[in-house]
Amino acid sequence: MPLNKILAVETSCDDTSVAILDSNGLVLGMISASQDGFHEPFGGIVPEIAGRAHSEKLLPLIEKLLISTDLSWEDISALAVTSRPGLVGSLLVGLVTVKTLALSLNKPFIGVNHLEGHIWAPFVFDNEKDKNPFIEEFLSLVVSGGHTQLIHVQGIGKYKVLGHSIDDAAGEAFDKFAKIIGLGYPGGLVIDQKAKVGDVKKYSFPRPMLKVDNFDFSFSGLKTAAMNTVSGLSWEQIKQNTPDLCASYQEAIVDVLVTKLKAASDSMPYLPVTITGGVSANSRLRDQVTNWSNMAKVKCYFPKLQFCTDNAAMIGFAGLLRMSRGEHSEQSLGPSPRSLDRDFI
Ligand code: KG4
Ligand code: ZN
């Protein structure tokens, strides 16, 4: 059966998201529900709560999406769902739901690697006018809450990891600092906003691994240095200096990301670059990368803001790419907390 429209589901962490794309990859509709506030009292995501919330929200969201796009199940020819990596209980909710729908409606489905979704997110579009040109080979900096990876994308399904974080991910570094200075969870966006009126030079934070001659990252030392700085301040001082703390801390993360990206790009100057994942929504990172890419004349693409953080549209887009090559998954597919392996996602 030729691909018509694909319905995609993302439940790998704490966002329940559903989307419908047409066969060209145009997003016809997307609805997401976050679990903001659910996990805050526990200081981090509680897998059991996340899984339960997905199972309560997913089917009503799918129904709402079909109504809002004025589509029925007859219009949907395939399904896509995140199958790895992520919280197993959360992945399981999306996977079991999609597998059941696929079986009962007699439609093919495909399990998608969440990181593969992020990799193609810069090419996801909900408007023909502002879509990025589709390319198949590029250098991708994936910066999310769970991953920081520099990947040489050589085509659909061919991803060579050039470097990755040896400890915390960039998003995790934002979130942990936000928690320390009382900005709640997740903290990346709040830090981004507060930093706009802060002084990037007020506090001096380390730039880990900059001098190391590879494309790996490390953010746990930065977090420790920041904790030491903050422990010397009273709550009153932290409150007064929040914009400066945010700007200085954010600048250290952005510096590391941009420097490593530049170095990787220098080693493959003919390749366009993409920056993707939740942290690619960061305004300072976008500005710094754009300044560099303009100067270096390297083509650079970001996802639209709504496709940076976890979303089902990117899963549908990656699923379409896979299915257009004749791939699909079997009912035996199960969830996995891990990606495929260290060097090749
Ligand atoms: O891609 P994502 O939604 O989830 C994972 O796959 O992990 O990324 C979530 C991360 C969180 O750590 C969040 O704080 C961060 O993205 N984030 C940001 C911004 N918006 C979201 N970090 C920095 N600046 C932002 N504007
Ligand atoms: Zn993600």
pLDDT at 125: 98
Q: 274: closest CA among 129, 150, 104, 128? A: 150
Residues 113 and 155 in one domain: no
Work out the pLDDT band at 329, boundaries 50, 70, 90: very high
Instruction: Indicate which ligand has the atom closest to the C-alpha of 281.
Output: 1
User: Cα of 27 to ligand 2 centre, how many Å?
Assistant: 18
Is the Cα dihedral 258, 260, 261, 265 positive or negative? positive
What is the model's pLDDT at position 113?
Answer: 95
Cβ of 175 less than 6 Å from ligand 1:
yes
Closest listed residue to residue 55, CA positions, set 104, 101, 92, 13: 92
| Claim to verify: residue 114 and residue 171 sit in the same structural domain | no
Cα dihedral 246→251→257→261 (10° resolution)? 150
Instruction: Determine how β-strand 5-10 pairs with β-strand 76-84.
Output: parallel
Domain range enclosing 313:
5-126+307-323
Number of domains in the chain: 2
Strands 138-143 and 148-155 come out as: antiparallel
Has residue 329 been placed in a domain?
no
- Cα gap 132→134, rounded to integer Å: 6
Give the confidence band of 127 by pLDDT, cuts at 50, 70, 90: very high
In a domain, 344, yes or no: no
Could you tell me if 163 and 290 lie in one domain? yes
Joined tokens for residue 24: 């060209």
The per-residue pLDDT for range 245-295, each reduced to its tens digit, is 999 999 999 999 999 999 999 999 999 999 999 999 999 999 999 999 999
Same domain, 276 and 196: yes
**Which tokens sit at 194?**
């507060």
Q: What percent of the chain has pLDDT over 90?
A: 88
Shared domain for 106 and 144, answered yes or no, is no
Ligand 1 site, residue 144, Cβ cutoff 6 A: yes
In a domain, 49, yes or no: yes
- Of the listed ranges 79-83, 208-212, 259-263, the one predicted with least confidence: 208-212
Is 25's C-beta closer than 6 angstroms to any atom of ligand 1? no
Helices in the chain by DSSP H: which ranges? 47-68, 88-105, 114-120, 170-180, 188-195, 220-231, 235-240, 242-267, 283-296, 312-323
Position 133 in a domain: no
Domain match, 32 and 122 both: yes
For residues 156 and 86, membership in a common domain is answered with no
In a domain, 50, yes or no: yes
Answer yes or no: do 271 and 178 share one domain: yes
- Examine the domain organization and report whether 142 and 122 are in the same domain: no
Does some domain include residue 22? yes
Supply the DSSP string of 123-180, one letter for each residue: G-BSSGGGPPPP-S-EEEEEE-SS-EEEEEEEETTEEEEEEEBSSS-HHHHHHHHHHH
Q: How far apart are the C-alpha atoms of 183 and 259, rounded to whole Å?
A: 27
Same domain membership, residue 223 and residue 167: yes
Look up the pTM and report it: 0.96
| Domain-located, residue 341 | no
144 and 192 inside one domain: yes
Identify the CATH number of the domain in which residue 269 sits: 3.30.420.40
298 and 182 part of one domain: yes
How many angstroms is it from 175 CA to the middle of ligand 1? 8
